[in-house]
């Protein structure tokens, strides 16, 4: 019979989860700045860059669609370990060569890594905590610290060599395997048929999960644009690699603040969190499209958008996990994550289409305004 972990073991597990999240997001932050810069310097057009950066979202969607079933067979820590390996390999591949086929494989691996990490780590954190919002706030803060550091490092190292930034990301990302492997091995989720009182139908249609899904749409669109066209627009506006890295870190730092405010926002209400988060995230990104040449203004609007996105990406999964059966938490997390991944693809891909007929900055402005609308509509009649 397996012995129940002690309180000390739970606290240690929480710390390890935070370390794994910080390492993964430092690596992802390095990648999010270095890859678009590498694509620009390798001669890819703005439209091609948008499609390439959107590609991981396709892999995310495919991976998340299978995760609900896999999490009933494999422990959630497995996905956290796998994510560190996949992201490290992704960075190494594109560092070796920016050839199109290598770029494509790298981006697909990155997408699977994102899906495995965010669903696996969030599910694990919720299961070892008495408060879903508290657990995800802590995880969001740890992730935010990583997202704050990664882009700055990418900008500094890329001033010398973009390839070096990617090699550093690959080496650093591999370190994330260690804390991930030390996480407590929790039981797999029960089979769907054995869940007592399960509500039939798709889980994303349930009140609460539906709202969380719309939150994930806006948060995913924001993240997709921040990692694709935001660096491109800043580069076209004449900003240096170091400044671009710092500005992306400002946005990630603001998302960290948004995560810290999520407990307060959850107390005010889900509808408030949705409307406030969607408006600030969308309007901030839209303003960046028109004002990228002014670094101080760019920093302000990126900070504004980051706060809103931080609230959405923390409150959304928490709401989804609170309104379902404990053995449905993995499924709920995977479902909201699929919406996030879809937005991660649609936002950059849609911008890529608009770039073909209008300036990049204007296209970013248009999409920034659009990403708020579905979330605002999705909050009507939902939880308070």
State the pTM of this model.
0.74
Compute CA distances 251 → 271, 275, 298, 355, whole Å.
23, 19, 10, 23
pLDDT of amino acid 256: 82
Q: Residues 6 or more apart from 155 whose CB is under 8 A from it?
A: 33, 240, 241, 242, 243, 244, 245, 246, 248
Query: Would you give the DSSP letter of residue 183?
Result: S
Cβ atoms of residues 155 and 29 within 8 Å: no
DSSP-derived letter for residue 261 is T
- For each of the chain's 384 residues, which pLDDT tens digit applies? 445 566 777 788 889 989 999 999 999 989 888 888 888 888 888 778 777 877 787 888 888 788 877 888 888 889 999 999 999 999 999 999 888 899 899 999 998 998 899 888 888 887 877 777 777 778 878 887 887 788 888 888 988 888 899 999 999 999 999 999 999 888 877 665 545 545 545 665 666 677 777 888 888 899 889 877 898 899 888 888 888 888 988 898 898 888 888 778 777 777 778 888 888 999 999 999 999 889 899 999 999 999 999 888 888 777 777 767 666 776 777 777 778 878 878 888 888 889 888 898 999 999 999 887 755 664 554 444
Angle, CA of 164, 165 and 171, to the nearest 5°? 85
pLDDT at residue 285 in the model: 93
Residue 198: predicted pLDDT: 52
pLDDT for the residue numbered 2 = 45
The rounded distance, in Å, linking the Cα atoms of 27 and 19 is: 12
Pick from 55, 35, 46, 53: nearest CA to 289: 46
Residue 324 is given by DSSP the state S
pLDDT score of 367: 92
- Residues 109, 113, 116, 118: is their CA dihedral positive or negative? negative
């Amino acid at each position: 019979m397996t012995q129940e972990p002690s309180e000390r073991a739970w606290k240690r597990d929480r710390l390890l989860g935070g370390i794994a999240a910080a390492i993964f997001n430092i690596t992802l932050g390095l990648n999010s700045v270095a890859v678009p810069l590498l694509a620009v310097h390798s001669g890819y057009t703005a439209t091609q860059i948008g499609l390439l950066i959107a590609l991981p979202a396709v892999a995310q969607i495919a991976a998340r669609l299978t995760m609900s079933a896999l999490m009933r067979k494999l422990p959630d820590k497995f996905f956290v370990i796998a994510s560190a390996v996949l992201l490290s390999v992704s960075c190494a591949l594109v560092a070796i060569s920016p050839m199109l086929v290598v770029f494509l494989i790298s981006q697909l691996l990155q997408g699977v890594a994102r899906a495995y990490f965010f669903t696996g780590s969030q599910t694990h954190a919720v299961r070892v905590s008495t408060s879903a919002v508290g657990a995800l706030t802590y995880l969001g803060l740890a992730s935010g610290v990583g997202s704050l550091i990664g882009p700055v490092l990418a900008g500094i190292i890329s001033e010398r060599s973009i390839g070096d930034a990617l090699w550093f990301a690959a080496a650093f990302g591999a370190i994330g395997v260690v804390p991930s492997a030390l996480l407590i091995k929790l039981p797999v989720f029960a089979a769907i048929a054995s869940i007592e009182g399960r509500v039939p139908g798709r889980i994303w249609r349930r009140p609460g999960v539906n709202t969380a899904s719309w939150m994930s749409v806006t948060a995913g669109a924001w993240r997709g644009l921040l990692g694709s066209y935001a660096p491109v627009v800043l580069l076209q506006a004449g900003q240096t690699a170091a400044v671009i890295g710092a500005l992306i870190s400002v946005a990630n730092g603001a998302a960290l603040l948004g995560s810290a405010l999520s407990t307060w926002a959850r107390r005010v209400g889900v509808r408030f969190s949705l409307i406030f988060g969607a408006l600030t995230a969308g309007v901030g990104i839209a303003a960046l499209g028109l004002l990228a040449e002014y670094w101080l203004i760019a920093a302000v609007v990126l900070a504004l958008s980051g706060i809103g996105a931080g609230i959405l990406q923390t409150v959304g999964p928490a709401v989804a996990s609170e309104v379902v059966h404990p053995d449905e938490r993995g499924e709920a997390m995977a479902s909201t994550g699929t919406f996030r991944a879809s937005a991660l693809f649609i936002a950059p891909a849609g911008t890529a289409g608009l770039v073909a007929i209008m300036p990049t900055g204007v296209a970013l402005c248009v999409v920034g305004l659009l990403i708020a609308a579905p979330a605002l509509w999705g909050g009507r009649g939902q939880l308070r």
